Amino acid sequence: MLRLKTRSQFQAVMAGQTVSRTAHFALHRVPSNPAMPSQASTADTQVSTADAGLLLGVVIPKRWARRAVTRNTIRRQIFAVADEVASALPPVAHVVRLRAGFDREQFVSATSERLRSVVRAELRQLFSRALRC
């Protein structure tokens, strides 16, 4: 699994369809229809899955996770769960986007095991819904 890196790559995937949603996350997938092959190109950057296989990007806005330690914890959990299900996902580009914040009163510590387990459970749900599509 490789990671998306450039803004144009993220924009190409985010322009695609939203495959699944949960309370806090959304999973976007690059469109793969006859009009637009599995390659979305921009001026100098391409999102090509022919050689790379699964490509994954993560968008965690400061709006929903103010502290960097919280964003990094969530990002690590996303990549860990994606690694678990990588073989089952189609070999196209995906972006996981945080679309709502976790309650800071309920999850006081950003590195708590409770937050990690809740995030992992929701991400497993997100990817399982995507596999059904």
How much is the pLDDT for 45? Answer: 45
How much is the pLDDT for 33? Answer: 41
Convert the chain into a string of H (helix), E (strand) and C (coil).
CEECCCHHHHHHHHCCEEEEECCCEEEEECCCECCECCEEECCCCEEECCCCCCEEEEECCCCCCCCHHHHHHHHHHHHHHHHHHCCCCCCCEEEEEECCCCCCCCCCCCCCHHHHHHHHHHHHHHHHHHHHC
Integer CA distances (angstroms), 78 to 37, 74, 85, 86, 95, in order: 27, 6, 11, 12, 10
pLDDT digits (tens, 9 = 90+) for 56-114: 999 999 999 999 999 999 999 999 999 999 999 989 999 999 999 999 888 888 889 99
Structural domains present in the chain: 2-31+51-132 (3.30.230.10)
How much is the pLDDT for 43? Answer: 37
How much is the pLDDT for 32? Answer: 56
How much is the pLDDT for 52? Answer: 58
pLDDT digits (tens, 9 = 90+) for 44-63: 345 554 455 789 999 999 99
Report the share of the chain in percent with pLDDT over 70: 83
